[in-house]
Amino acid sequence: MDLPRIFTIRESSHRIHNPFTPGKLAALGRALHLAPGTRVLDLASGSGEMLCTWARDHQVTGTGVDISTVFTEEARARAAELGVADRISFVHGDASGYVADEPVDLASCVGATWIGNGVAGTVDLLARSLRPGGLMLIGEPYWRREVPDEETAKACHATSKTDFLLLPELIESFGDLGYDVVEMVLADQDSWDRYQAAQWLNMRRWLDENPGDELAAEVRAELTTEPARYTRYQREYLGWGVFALMAR
Ligand code: SAH
């Protein structure tokens, strides 16, 4: 049980595996006015940058769960580096179906709603760990503008236009699930570049060091086409944000 190695090649230099900069992650933490001791459950926690920095900056406590052994090791190392390893821990495992032993104050899934088969299922999953009145965070893509055709949607790595909604529709969908949207921080094209363009140098450096690797041809092909694909389609059409929700 592990994340395919191609992801750890592309994102080898990333602490945040999403189109957020450290500044946007910090802005979200400040926007939520987290009380010291806030208990957090973060499903698909990646390299743990949200939990680690919020433990340092806001004294939150809690647990991250992620299926990647590489990212989970990075998260533990980051917690030690920031001196917060006594307050937060990282579990290697499948987060789909993961429910906390004790209800938490904040339950999050930032950029991995497939663990609950989509937004609605992930909201239900997180709700099972959340105390009444707690905060939920969902990180999710949306269309920045109307997608003209299925080809464009697929070029944004969606399976279809219907995978994602326009921003106001996504916001309304949280209401339909019975939640107030109480905060949000959105990616922008520059923060998308920090996620996507940063992968190109990672791939190039990896290729130079691993020419005989079984993934080399795949990484070579991707690096050749990826910058144009990203700038032609994804950078223009795909938005992303983290939405803070409270049950009505
Ligand atoms: N929330 C993190 C990581 C987002 S990237 C951040 O913002 O940086 C998506 C993450 O989902 C990856 O770390 C990947 O390993 C993890 N993941 C994918 N499927 C998973 C599953 N079934 N259970 C737990 N984690 C999963």
User: What domains sit in the chain, N to C, each tagged with a CATH number?
Assistant: 5-244 (3.40.50.150)
How far apart are the CA of 65 and the centre of ligand 1, in A? 8
Ligand 1: centre distance to CA 39 (Å): 20
pLDDT, tens digit, for every residue of 111-138?
999 999 999 999 999 999 999 999 999 9
CB atoms within 10 A of CB 223: 18
Radius of gyration of the chain from its Cα atoms, rounded to whole angstroms: 18
Q: Is the CB of 202 under 6 A from ligand 1?
A: no
Mean pLDDT calculated for residue range 99-107: 98
Query: Is the model's pTM score more than 0.75?
Result: yes
Evaluate if residue 1 carries a pLDDT over 90: no
CB of residue 95 inside a 6 A radius of ligand 1: yes
Which atom of ligand 1 lies closest to the CA of 115? 22
Mean pLDDT computed over 142-157: 97
Task: Tell me, using a 6 A CB cutoff, whether residue 242 lines ligand 1.
Answer: no
Confirm or reject: Cβ of 96 under 6 Å from ligand 1: yes
Is residue 45 lining ligand 1, measured as CB closer than 6 Å? Answer: yes
User: For 162-214, how does the pLDDT look when each residue is reduced to its tens digit (9 = 90+)?
Assistant: 999 999 999 999 999 999 999 999 999 999 999 999 999 999 999 999 999 99
Q: How confident is residue 218, by pLDDT bands cut at 50, 70 and 90?
A: very high
